[in-house]
Structure 1
Amino acid sequence: MPETWDYTLSVPNDLRAVTICRRTLRLILTMHGLIGLADTAELLAAELVSNAVRHTKGAAALRVRRSPEGVVWIGAWDADPVPPEPPGSLETVTDREAGRGLGLVAACADCWGWQPSTRFGNRGKYVWCEVGVA
């Protein structure tokens, strides 16, 4: 059975938080012997956290955990309870300047979704994705 773990990094509504989350995620994966996932996981986390800080006004959080089945779950929480807009196919969004994030997530992750969530008494949502460990 794989080792399980769960990390949460709370971040302010600041685009610099995206880089901090990416680097923290890479360190987590490296320390747990999962460096092979780091590039894909960084891309996914960057898209999720970027959406959280660009499209909302409050704080955000990155949560990363590994399930007993060995799946790595990456989620970004934000204070806006409104569901994300469904992504277009990657082919339809590649020429646009914005709006590609969830298309990349859908294309690169094994699965993705969102769920309502409350943190510290604030209503919001988690937008999450899963990456299997090969």
Structure 2
Amino acid sequence: MPEIESWDYTLYVPNDLRAVTVCRRTLRLILTLQGVIGVADTAELLAAELVSNAVRHTKGPAALRVRRTPEGTVWIGAWDSDPAPPDPPRPLEQVGESEEGRGLGLVRACAEYWGWRPTARFGDRGKYVWCELAAA
């Protein structure tokens, strides 16, 4: 079996809701060029939710990180400058028609795994909220 090539990209963005569109389009381009277009729709949705939360609920910069592990997993994470844990995801059936509060519920429903961890970037404490998609 051929070895899967791993790669890692990080896109740093300002605290601006337009960054969500920039991240979605950049992520699709990365996945297309790396030959994992099969997960692009789901990855784009999840990245948009993670980055949207990062810029909506914090005042500082944010970052989108996407990488492929040697095992073939696509890992997507959004860093923000707030070290507080995210609110627990609500089940999608409790969200209803409103888009408010659905972000992590979608991540939980669509990703193989998801989680968060405290970390630092730009010299500031913050957190990564991440998810994994099987792409092998």
Range class of TM-score, shorter chain: over 0.9
* Equivalent residue number for residue 28 of structure 2: 26
Post-superposition shift, 1:95?
3.1
Q: 1:58 aligns with which of 45, 60, 67?
A: 60
Q: Which runs of 4+ in 1 moved over 6 A?
A: none
Q: 5+ residue gaps in structure 2? A: none
* Equivalent residue number for residue 85 of structure 1: 87
Q: 2:11 aligns with which of 9, 20, 30?
A: 9
Q: 2:130 aligns with which of 121, 128, 131?
A: 128
Q: Distance in 2 between matches of 1:11 and 1:94?
A: 30
* Equivalent residue number for residue 69 of structure 1: 71
% identity of equivalent residues:
76
Q: Distance in 1 between matches of 2:116 and 2:124?
A: 16
Post-superposition shift, 1:92?
1.0
Post-superposition shift, 1:13?
0.2
Post-superposition shift, 1:97?
3.8
Q: 1:48 aligns with which of 47, 50, 61?
A: 50
Aligned-residue CA RMSD in angstroms?
Answer: 0.9
Q: What secondary structure sits across from 2:104 in the alignment?
A: helix
Q: 2:117 aligns with which of 115, 118, 131?
A: 115
Q: Distance in 2 between matches of 1:111 and 1:91?
A: 20
Q: CA offsets per residue over residues 60-110 of structure 1, 9 Å max, x none? A: 000000011000000000000000011111111133341100001100111
Q: Distance in 2 between matches of 1:40 and 1:119?
A: 26
TM-score for the superposition, normalised by structure 2: 0.96
Q: Distance in 1 between matches of 2:89 and 2:23?
A: 22
TM-score for the superposition, normalised by structure 1: 0.97
Q: 5+ residue gaps in structure 1? A: none
Q: What secondary structure sits across from 1:2 in the alignment?
A: coil
The number of residues matched between the two structures is: 134
Q: Distance in 2 between matches of 1:17 and 1:97?
A: 18
